[in-house]
């Protein structure tokens, strides 16, 4: 699972097995360490919840959690739909944009990039680049 954070925008890209795992098990998680000691890890997870009325996000105890209604995850996993998104008001005039996407293979080869589990690119064979 790839994580991109830019200002008040959070984007997660999932491989085929991660999308399937989220639909089947209801949770996928990753982490990144910034040092050897305690408190140096940032965890991020996607949770499919039967109780969730909409796509939401939280940050607590060093964990970024994005929760998606389970039915929505199952529908998305079994479809050609590329992404799930939400705009969450943060108060005043700010909002958090969340985008959860299927990760596609790049059309141009990139050395060192493992795309063996990425989704086939919808424009594969038409000459465009990623």
Q: What is the pLDDT of residues 31-86, one digit of tens each?
A: 999 999 888 999 999 999 999 999 999 999 999 999 999 999 999 999 999 999 99
- Asked whether residue 62 is assigned to any structural domain, the reply reads yes
Domain containing residue 57: 2-102
Q: What is the pLDDT of residues 73-116, one digit of tens each?
A: 999 999 999 999 999 999 888 999 999 998 877 777 777 777 77
- Asked whether residue 68 is assigned to any structural domain, the reply reads yes
Domain count, the chain: 1
- Which residue reads 């039967």 in tokens? 50
- Asked whether residue 61 is assigned to any structural domain, the reply reads yes
CA distances from 59 to 44, 67, 102, 113, 123 (A): 9, 11, 23, 29, 36
* Average pLDDT of the residues in 115-130: 65
Q: What is the pTM of this model?
A: 0.84
- Asked whether residue 58 is assigned to any structural domain, the reply reads yes
């Amino acid at each position: 699972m790839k994580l991109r954070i830019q200002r008040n925008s959070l984007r997660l890209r999932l491989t085929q097995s991660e999308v399937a795992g989220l639909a089947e098990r209801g949770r996928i998680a990753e982490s990144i360490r910034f040092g050897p000691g305690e408190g140096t890890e940032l965890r991020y997870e996607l949770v499919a919840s039967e109780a969730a009325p909409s796509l939401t996000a939280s940050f607590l105890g060093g964990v970024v959690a994005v929760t998606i209604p389970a039915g929505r995850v199952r529908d998305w996993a079994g479809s050609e739909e590329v992404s799930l998104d939400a705009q969450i008001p943060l108060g005043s005039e700010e909002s958090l944009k969340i985008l959860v996407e299927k990760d596609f293979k790049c059309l141009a080869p990139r050395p060192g990039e493992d795309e063996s589990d990425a989704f086939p690119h919808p424009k594969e064979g038409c000459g465009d680049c990623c």
